[in-house]
């Protein structure tokens, strides 16, 4: 199944050399050359970059019994030794010498993702494991290349992590009040959370 537009940009492949991130032509968001087929549900300032950890991909690889290449979940960045699920909303990452990104939201699974993975009950399975990966907004444009160091330069300290937000909006609604007070959460998701808690 493809996105509503009839196409999908989920199939990400490794790139040699530097890739510009947050260039003006992208409205200070996104990666140069990244294809977003359904801008209503993907991309934009709050979802400019999607990161997933190689360690979490390795867990899925063992569970599913098949090789999972970096990029298979549609992530722009496959990280190593970065706790993506444990990253706090509003946490800032410096990548390379100039690029600064801010964690804004967890990814929620969609039908395109399920069709791409071709695993029975994939949305349910992905949701139950609560390893969603993180969307990030661009604070300081720059470039990224394979092997760049990811440094956490700011951690808000409120404890509302990517994983907690994902569980709150999917399976543990009792966590929603904690999430509703975090202004750095992606705008559309924050508005939905606040409606659900009556804030």
Would you list the domain boundaries of the chain?
19-157
Q: What is the pLDDT of residues 67-85, one digit of tens each?
A: 999 999 999 999 999 999 9
124 burial via Cβ count (<10 Å: 0-12, 13-18, 19+): exposed
Tokens of 190: 């924050």
Under 8 Å between Cβ of 56 and 28: no
Q: 141 φ, ψ to 5°?
A: -60, 155
Whole-angstrom Cα distance, residue 109 to residue 128?
11
| Residue 2, pLDDT above cutoff 90 | no
Who contacts 21 (Cβ-Cβ below 8 Å, separation ≥6)? 30, 31, 32, 48, 49, 99, 101, 138, 141, 142, 143, 144
pLDDT band at 33 (very low <50, low <70, confident <90, very high): confident
- In whole numbers, what is the pLDDT of the chain averaged over residues? 89
Q: What is the pLDDT of residues 157-177, one digit of tens each?
A: 999 999 999 999 999 999 999
CATH topology of domain 19-157: M1 Pyruvate Kinase; Domain 3 (2.40.33)
Tokens of 100: 């600064």
pLDDT value at residue 15: 84
Length of the chain: 199
Mean pLDDT (whole number) for 118-128: 97
Under 8 Å between Cβ of 101 and 92: yes
């Amino acid at each position: 199944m493809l996105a509503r537009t009839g196409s999908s940009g989920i199939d990400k492949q490794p790139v040699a050399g530097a890739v510009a991130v947050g260039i003006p032509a992208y409205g200070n968001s996104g990666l140069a050359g990244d294809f977003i087929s359904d801008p209503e549900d993907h991309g934009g300032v709050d979802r400019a970059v999607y990161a997933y950890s190689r360690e979490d991909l390795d867990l899925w690889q063992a569970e599913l019994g098949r090789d999972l290449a970096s990029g298979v979940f549609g992530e722009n960045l496959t990280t190593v030794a970065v706790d993506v699920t444990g990253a706090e909303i509003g946490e800032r990452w410096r990548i390379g010498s100039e690029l600064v990104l801010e964690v804004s939201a967890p990814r929620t699974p969609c039908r395109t993702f399920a069709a791409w993975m071709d695993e029975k009950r994939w949305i349910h399975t992905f949701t139950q494991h609560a390893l969603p990966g993180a969307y990030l907004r661009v604070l300081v444009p720059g470039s990224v290349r394979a092997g760049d160091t990811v440094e956490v330069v700011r951690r808000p300290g409120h404890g509302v992590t990517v994983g907690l937000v994902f569980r709150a909006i999917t399976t543990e609604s009792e966590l929603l009040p904690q999430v509703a007070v975090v202004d750095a959460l992606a705008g559309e998701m924050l508005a939905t959370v606040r409606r659900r808690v009556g804030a």
